Amino acid sequence: HEAHKIPTRIRFYESSISSGTTERLLLENDLHDALVNQELFLEYQPQLDLQSGQIRSVEALVRWQHPKKGWISPGVFIPIAEESGLIIPIGQWVLETACKQVKGWEAAGLPPIKVAVNLSLGQLFQQNLVEMIHNVLEKTQLDPQYLQLEITESMTINIDHMTTILHQLKVLGVTIAVDDFGTGYSSLSYLKDFPIDCLKIDRSFVQKIQSDSTDKALVDMILSMAKHLRLKVVAEGIEEIDQLSYLVASKCDTVQGFLFSKPIPPNILQENYQMLHKDAKSILDSITAFE
């Protein structure tokens, strides 16, 4: 009767996605060993404070150097880590490594730098997330004001749970940013409940500030809303001087993008710290020269 039809449907389904699935399973398998084999590392992208012209903060971004396949984008392996549960150990490693690094820069004589660490949805439903973060702060002796946690709007699926967790995190003394703000298809009402400190304007809006009047309007709206809600704003993905000059004129607090620096290894950031500032200053000066 019905039974013989089912395998046909399964076979059809399998044949259309099998290569992708196999590749994914292989990667998941390799990702298991990546932590132990020290194939994961962090890069840090400077964020420029527009008022002071200083690098006061960085975003930590995880990288995977696969022994055979080479560099694999976090856009590929983070979703695999999320679906497999590996995001829990990986997320903890990222957090601890980033906190240690900030202490390392401090020991090397750099001015205080705050690090932003991305959280995944899976981590927010991890039983002991708050305790884990508390322990990492204790262990690394990092002053919590130098840790910012990035969440995304896609995590607002359970407002009550998130509100509880975020308040507990705030008690630790860390700050919270909403990453990729404006792309999450969520209602804005969570802004009333969540103890948020910062909005990160998604680069898709920033990159079209000059060419698309809707994107420009959205950036204006986010900046004005943030001001009323007393939230800081980081604009992501600044690649061009025109984008920067618009954001400077609009009193955006902080910018992050290839115009100033790509994500770089921690020692490179340390060695080039003065140079990064010199470059940033000449870029900022070139804007004022236009006015």
Residue 254 contacts ligand C2E per CB under 6 A: no
Residue 118 contacts Mg ion per CB under 5 A: yes
Segment contacting Mg ion (CB under 5 A): 115-123, 129-137, 155-163, 182-190? 115-123
30, 96, 153, 179: residue in contact with Mg ion (rule CB under 5 A) = 179
Calpha distance 190→195 (Å, rounded) = 9
Strands (E), the chain: 40-49, 54-66, 70-72, 114-118, 147-152, 175-181, 198-201, 232-236, 254-256
Residue 263 contacts ligand C2E per CB under 6 A: yes
Calpha distance 218→231 (Å, rounded) = 16
Residue 41 contacts ligand C2E per CB under 6 A: no
What is the β-pairing status of strands 70-72 and 254-256? unpaired
- 80: Cβ contacts below 8 Å, ≥ 6 apart: 24, 27, 28, 31, 86
Distance of closest approach, residue 75 Cβ to ligand C2E, in angstroms: 5
Please return the burial class of 62, using the count of CB atoms within 10 Å of its CB with bins 0-12, 13-18 and 19+. buried
Residue 120 contacts ligand C2E per CB under 6 A: yes
Taking CB under 6 A as the rule, which mask of x and - marks residues 183-212 in contact with ligand C2E?
--------------------x---------
Distance of closest approach, residue 8 Cβ to ligand C2E, in angstroms: 38
Taking CB under 5 A as the rule, which mask of x and - marks residues 213-252 in contact with Mg ion?
-----------------------x----------------
Residue 257 contacts ligand C2E per CB under 6 A: yes
